[in-house]
Amino acid sequence: MPHILIVEDEAAIADTLIFALQGEGFTTTWLSLGAAALEHQRMTPADLIILDIGLPDISGFETCKQLRRFSEVPVMFLSARDGEIDRIVGLEIGADDYVVKPFSPREVAARVRAILKRMAPRGVNESSSAVFQVDIDRVQISYRGQPLGLTRHEFRLLQCLLEQPERVFSREQLLDALGVAADAGYERSIDSHIKSLRAKLRLVAASAEPIQTHRGLGYSYSPGNS
């Protein structure tokens, strides 16, 4: 049974989330401080963290940054701030979703279930091509025999592209591979993740271009350019 860590300093909001999530079959823990959440995740890891941005000790953004140093647990931000820049920053520092207050508790529970479902292994063959090897259990992709140091988002993006060589994926489809709703305003952050992926691939093979850009359409994996 998935366990959800709720990090929220307003008791009324936390109680509403606990009621909705437990009604959907999840178990929950509630904490009100970012530092306590980091320690909890080190000792007793949750399956997903719902993280308020405006915490009393350290911000949710800073909590997520520190969390990503040792954990790839899915993170959903809660915030009263609905600006596009806040949403983009949230995703780029490692969040999987961003929900604006006030929110529907049932929608949050549905988003949690969708994220956990998308995070489940897809059953890709460990050898996706002659030059890439995907190890799902270890969340590791090797390129030309060298393991790549990928973030969880980068792993999911590359895994998605490798599954269907030559298929052009739109930004919206790649967001779906990350478990992020396409209407969340994160489309351009896909470009940042692709740029980071390419840089890591070039450290192994400087002249190869396995990820192709299709202007106005999206991205694809091209085995012939690997």
What are the tens digits of pLDDT across the range 165-189?
A: 889 998 888 888 777 665 555 667 8
Higher pLDDT among residues 125 and 63, named by residue: 63
Please list the residue range(s) of the chain that carry CATH number 3.40.50.2300: 3-119
CATH code, residues 3-119: 3.40.50.2300
pTM of the entire predicted model: 0.60
CATH for 132-225 (2.30.130.60, 3.20.20.70, 1.10.10.10, 2.20.25.90):
1.10.10.10
Q: pLDDT tens, 151-163?
A: 888 898 999 999 8
Please list the residue range(s) of the chain that carry CATH number 1.10.10.10: 132-225
**Whose structure tokens read 């007793």?**
44
DSSP code per residue over the chain: --EEEEE-S-HHHHHHHHHHHHHTT-EEEEES-HHHHHHHHHHS--SEEEEESS-SSS-HHHHHHHHTTT----EEEEES---HHHHHHHHHTT-SEEEESS--HHHHHHHHHHHHHHHS-----SB-SSSEEEETTTTEEEETTEE----HHHHHHHHHHHHSTTPPBPHHHHHHHHT--GGGS-TTHHHHHHHHHHHHHHTT-TT---EEEETTTEEEE-GGG-
Residue 53 pLDDT > 70, yes or no?
yes
HEC string for 171-220: HHHHHHHHCCCHHHCCCCHHHHHHHHHHHHHHCCCCCCCCEEEECCCEEE
Tokens representing residue 211 in the block: 């990820």
Higher pLDDT among residues 118 and 6, named by residue: 6
Give CA separation, 43 vs 36, 38, 39, 40, 51, in Å.
11, 9, 6, 5, 18
Q: pLDDT tens, 102-130?
A: 889 999 999 999 888 877 654 444 444 46
> In this predicted structure, what is the pLDDT of residue 151?
87
Q: pLDDT tens, 77-101?
A: 998 877 778 778 887 888 888 898 8
Highest mean pLDDT among 20-34, 136-150, 178-192, 211-225: 20-34
